[in-house]
Structure 1
Amino acid sequence: MQINEQARESLLSEVNGLTDEEINKKASADRWSVKQIMEHLYLMEVAITKIIQQQLITGDTVHVSEKPIHFTVNRSVKVDSPDFAVPSEDFVTLEEMKQKLAASHQGLRQLNETADKKTLREKSYPHPAFGDLSLEQYIPFVGYHEKRHIEQIKEVKAAFNN
């Protein structure tokens, strides 16, 4: 969870001080707002936590090789969001988004602390970019995914400062 904790600290540092209006403003019609990026991160963290929980119980034991999940941060490779993680257009306050993210992060942290490490290594779930990914690797994947979107938040903020 170390990468996840670092990413969350960076995310909060990047958004702290922004107004509710700033986080909900889009740089263009085809780009997400800061709020939408945060909501996407929340939706992904919740979904991955649920997937891991379900697979720990029902998943088959299979050996999968370790994948280069650190490449997730590469923003030159475009990846479409899965439908379940596409954010809404709804106006949400920064405080509300921070509370949602704190709750989803706590859920993943608790799962990481309580799940059997051997079972996390032995079970997997298909990932759209990496193929079968061990449940163990899904946990730091969330952190790398968040780092990717922190860069996107920086791009959105820069667009407004120009």
Structure 2
Amino acid sequence: MEKLIKETEETLLALENVFSKFDGHLVNKVPFEGSWTAGQLAEHLILSNGGFLQVINGTVTETDKPADLMVSQIKSDFLNFNVKYNSPKEIYPENKAYNQPELLENLKQIRAGISNAATGLDLTKTCVSYELPGYGYLTRLEAIYFVIYHTQRHVHQLKNIYSGLNPN
């Protein structure tokens, strides 16, 4: 459990730290063709991770499988940087100007919520308010690992966006 809490905190803090390196005007600048802006990427993670926080805190049932059954598959899928995924429309960020301090505050609130869930809830329960395409209903443990690996994937992309905007 300590490993999960530490990995959650480190991953979500890494996102905030990388995102905070962007100068205000660069947050909404497209670094290269086909890329989101840093602001769009942060908004995508707010929508996704915030949604998962609601799922984790939502309706649950008893679990009839190992609580970590899907963790290795989620890790394998999301940390394979050679595969490009299309975002579901529900968590696809708008093409607009984003406010960096506001996004950072939302990211911090979500980090606190995920950390509270990881330390205070029974992570073996199955979340039934949302069925994740390709994975099914996740346990709270699997949902937290989804947040971790999905965020790690996007931290990697955020670093690429930063490099694209700051070639030095």
Query: Shared fold by TM > 0.5?
Result: yes
Counterpart amino acid of 2:101?
E
Query: What's the counterpart of residue 14 of structure 2?
Result: 10
- The residue correspondences of 1:1-162 to structure 2 (distance < 5 A) are 1-28=5-32, 30-56=34-60, 59=61, 61-63=63-65, 66-67=69-70, 68=72, 69-71=74-76, 72-115=78-121, 117=122, 120-124=123-127, 126-162=131-167
Q: In structure 1, how many angstroms separate the alpha carbons of the residues matched to 2:13 and 2:50?
A: 18
Q: In structure 1, how many angstroms separate the alpha carbons of the residues matched to 2:102 and 2:93?
A: 14
> What secondary structure is seen at the aligned counterpart in 1 of 2:27?
helix
Counterpart amino acid of 1:121?
T
Identical-residue share of aligned pairs (%): 23
Q: In structure 1, how many angstroms separate the alpha carbons of the residues matched to 2:81 and 2:113?
A: 27
> What secondary structure is seen at the aligned counterpart in 2 of 1:139?
helix
Report the Cα offset of residue 60 of structure 1.
5.9
Counterpart amino acid of 1:62?
D
Report the Cα offset of residue 153 of structure 1.
0.8
Q: In structure 1, how many angstroms separate the alpha carbons of the residues matched to 2:25 and 2:156?
A: 20
Count how many residue pairs are aligned between Structure 1 and Structure 2.
Answer: 157
C-alpha RMSD over aligned residues: 2.1
After TM superposition, the runs of 4+ consecutive aligned structure 1 residues lying more than 6 A away are none
Asked if 2 retains the 8 angstrom alpha-carbon contact of 1:62 and 1:124, the reply is no
> What secondary structure is seen at the aligned counterpart in 1 of 2:57?
helix
Q: Given the two structures, how large is their TM-score scaled by the length of structure 1? A: 0.83
Asked if 2 retains the 8 angstrom alpha-carbon contact of 1:7 and 1:147, the reply is yes
Q: In structure 1, how many angstroms separate the alpha carbons of the residues matched to 2:24 and 2:69?
A: 40
- Which deviations, in whole Å up to 9, do the C-alpha atoms of 1:37-56 show, x marking residues without a partner? 11111111110111122232
Q: In structure 2, how many angstroms separate the alpha carbons of the residues matched to 1:46 and 1:9?
A: 15
Alpha-carbon distance change, 40 to 159 in structure 1, aligned in 2, over 3 angstroms? same
Q: In structure 1, how many angstroms separate the alpha carbons of the residues matched to 2:25 and 2:134?
A: 34
Report the Cα offset of residue 25 of structure 1.
0.6
Report the Cα offset of residue 124 of structure 1.
4.4
